[in-house]
Structures are given as C-alpha cells and as structure tokens.
C-alpha cells in the first residue's frame, strides 16, 4: 500500500515536473510577410455565394448613392 502510494507520488511529481519542460511551437517571423490568420473574401458568404462580380456590382451601385447628381436629377 505504501509502495503504491510512493509510486503514485513519484509519477505525479514526474508529470508535474516534466510539464515545465514542454516547448510550445515558436513562431519564426519572416520580415515583410504577413504572419497572421488568413482572412475570408467579402464575397464568400451566403449573400454573394462566392460571386465576386455580384459583390463588386453591389459596391458600385452602393457608391452611386453618394452621388446626389444622379439621385436628384
């Protein structure tokens, strides 16, 4: 019984002690190159379903709302 307890204590100490030896993967920076997460394209969603032209046309139509000469006349 004491032997089992000693063994468990030893194993526990080893697990806790060795956990400090773990190494997390290091990020190696490459100067001048974006290192972050990849972004999704604005047309990759349910609304545009990957259709880039549809998205561009929507943006251009929206921009024309800023042109009061076409809105008023």
Partner 1 sequence: MARMKFLCDAERCIVCNGCVTACKNENEVPWGVNRRRVVTINQGVPGEKAVSVACMHCSDAPCMAVCPVDCFYKTDEGIVLHDKDLCIGCGYCFYACPFGAPQFPQDGAFGLRGKMDKCTYCAGGPEPNFSQAEFKKYGRNRIAEGKLPLCAEMCSTKALLAGDADVISDIYRTRVLRRGTGSEIWGWGTAYGRPEKAASPQGGK
Q: Candidates 3-11, 12-20, 39-47 — which segment interacts with partner 1 by CB under 8 A?
A: 39-47
Q: Binding residue for partner 1 (CB under 8 A) from 6, 9, 41, 49? A: 41
Nearer to partner 1, 4 or 38 (CB): 38
E-only strand ranges, the chain: none
Contact call for residues 48 and 55 (beta carbons, < 8 A)? yes
Task: Report how far residue 20's alpha carbon sits from residue 14's, in angstroms, rounded to the nearest whole number.
Answer: 10
DSSP state of 33: S
Binding region for partner 1 (CB under 8 A): 29-45, 47-48, 55-56, 58-60, 62-69
């Amino acid at each position: 019984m004491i032997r089992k307890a000693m063994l468990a204590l030893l194993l526990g100490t080893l697990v806790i002690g060795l956990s400090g030896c773990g190494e997390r993967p290091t990020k190696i920076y490459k100067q001048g190159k974006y290192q972050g997460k990849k972004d999704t394209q604005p047309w990759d969603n349910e609304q545009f379903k990957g259709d880039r032209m549809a998205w561009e046309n929507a943006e251009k139509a929206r921009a024309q709302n800023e042109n009061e000469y076409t809105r008023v006349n």
